Amino acid sequence: MSTEDKKALVQRTMNLINERNFAGIDQMYASSYIRHDASAPQVRNRDAYKQYTMVLCKIFPDLHFTIEDLFAEGEKVVCRFTTAGTHSSPWRGIPATGKKVTTSGIAISRVVDNEVVEDWFINDIFGMAEQLGATLVHKGI
């Protein structure tokens, strides 16, 4: 699989959420998929990822990912993105506000045999909470 093919695959994975094509997750992610995401530690396999995205799209029904940068080398594809959506249901203890939020993030995807097998994902959830008028408490240092 070429570098350009891997970049195209990652671009299609972002579009799955934009299009609400949750069934496509089964086709583009390995069954053994692992997501490294401190803000979503429950996502440890493909089925959990699918459930997570479905819930996220209920909380932010117009959630949309925009790819800002896309780079690839070897098995890894790096995507810098912006997300935007309207907060329509409770999220992390914050009641629905109806506010439109925009955040930025970076995902590093490992692609093997035309499937995403692993992601490292960082999104600015603290910035999102601030836009919603709340403060998330970090329980670490």
Give the model confidence (pLDDT) of 94-129 as tens digits: 899 999 999 999 999 999 999 999 999 999 988 998
Domain edges within the chain: 3-131
pLDDT at position 140 is: 58
Contact 86, 62 (CB under 8 A): yes
Phi, psi of 57 (to 5 degrees): -75, -15
Q: Render 21-68 in DSSP notation, one character per residue.
A: -TTHHHHHEEEEEEEE-TT-TT--SHHHHHHHHHHHHHHSTT-EEEEE
pLDDT band at residue 141 under the 50/70/90 scheme: low
3-131 folds as Nuclear Transport Factor 2; Chain: A, (3.10.450)
Q: What is the pTM of this model?
A: 0.89
d(CA 79, CA 119): 11
Report the SS3 class of residue 99: coil
